[in-house]
């Protein structure tokens, strides 16, 4: 197992199967590996990577996008964007994910849904100096907070601004990613929006819609 690429938000995983259903809402579940697990390219397929239960000091939670008996297919945080893999379902903890975030990139709007019902929609200030943001399906990699009862300062997404460079997209209050420890671009939203995002946990599915 040690020779396999370890999955992190900075790793590159060439040859992983790509997300072929980017506009689907997902299964509504997330999983957390209880031990270091092998990631496979298909059900009963070849090993392509390994994932630890914790990354960057936080539990690793991944959104489930497909299920087969004994297996779950998850989105991965690596480059290139849209990488997926399969995990042994008997060795993960499964949780219900009630929230989903939708970002309309062209309109500059962020929407939060709970059980597919709209909680609210707010303007998103995208960094106009950057290249067009990548579209597709991703997830909340980590939530940076000043305290457990406080709204997040930054939501760090598992979406890379460029497939060949480290640099994760973030959602934060205002027009600059204050408090973000990761280099990269961000989208600024109001304090009201960040307060609404308080209940969003790592592994929450995020859709970045180009149209």
pLDDT at 128: 53
Q: What is the mean pLDDT of residues 177-205?
A: 77
The answer to which of 131-135, 136-140, 168-172, 207-211 has the lowest mean pLDDT is 131-135
The model's pTM is 0.89
Structure-token match 């959104």, residue found: 63
Statement: residue 112 has pLDDT above 90: yes
Please give the average per-residue pLDDT across 20-43, as a whole number. Answer: 94
pLDDT band with cut points at 50, 70 and 90 for residue 130: low
Calculate the average pLDDT of the chain: 88
- The gap from C-alpha 211 to its chain's centroid, in whole angstroms, comes to 20
Q: Determine which of 29-33, 133-137, 183-187, 188-192 has the lowest per-residue pLDDT on average.
A: 183-187
**What torsion do the CA atoms of 28, 33, 39, 44 make, to the nearest 10 degrees?**
-80
pLDDT level of residue 93 (50, 70, 90 thresholds) = very high
Is the bond leading into 125 cis (omega within 30 degrees of zero)? no
- Could you count the other beta carbons within 10 Å of the beta carbon of residue 203? 24
Quote the pLDDT of residue 181: 37
Distance CA 153, CA 85 (A): 30
Q: What are the structural domains of the chain?
A: 5-96 (2.30.30.40), 99-209 (2.40.440.10)
Percent of the chain with pLDDT over 90: 61
Average pLDDT over residues 5-31: 90
Q: Note the pLDDT tens digit of each residue in 137-173.
A: 999 999 888 777 677 888 999 998 876 555 788 999 8
Cα 77 off chain centre by: 7
Residue with tokens 């999983």: 31
């Amino acid at each position: 197992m040690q020779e396999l690429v370890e999955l992190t938000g900075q790793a590159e995983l060439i040859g992983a199967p790509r997300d072929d259903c980017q506009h689907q809402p997902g299964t509504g579940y997330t999983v957390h590996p209880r031990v270091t697990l092998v990631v496979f390219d298909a059900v009963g397929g070849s090993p392509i990577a390994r994932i630890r239960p914790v990354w960057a000091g936080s539990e690793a939670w991944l959104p489930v996008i497909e299920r087969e008996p004994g297996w779950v297919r998850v989105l991965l945080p690596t480059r290139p964007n849209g990488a997926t893999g399969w995990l042994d379902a008997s060795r993960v903890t499964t949780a219900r994910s009630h929230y989903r975030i939708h970002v309309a990139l062209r309109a500059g709007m962020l929407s939060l849904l709970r059980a597919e019902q709209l909680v609210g929609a707010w303007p998103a200030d995208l960094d106009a100096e950057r290249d067009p943001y990548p579209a597709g399906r991703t997830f909340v990699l980590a939530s940076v907070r000043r305290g457990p009862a406080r709204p997040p300062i930054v939501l760090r997404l598992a979406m890379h601004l460029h497939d060949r460079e480290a640099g994760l997209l973030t959602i934060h209050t205002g027009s600059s990613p204050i408090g973000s420890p990761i280099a990269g671009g961000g989208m600024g939203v109001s304090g009201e929006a960040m307060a609404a995002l308080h209940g969003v946990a790592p592994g929450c599915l995020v859709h970045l819609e180009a149209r």
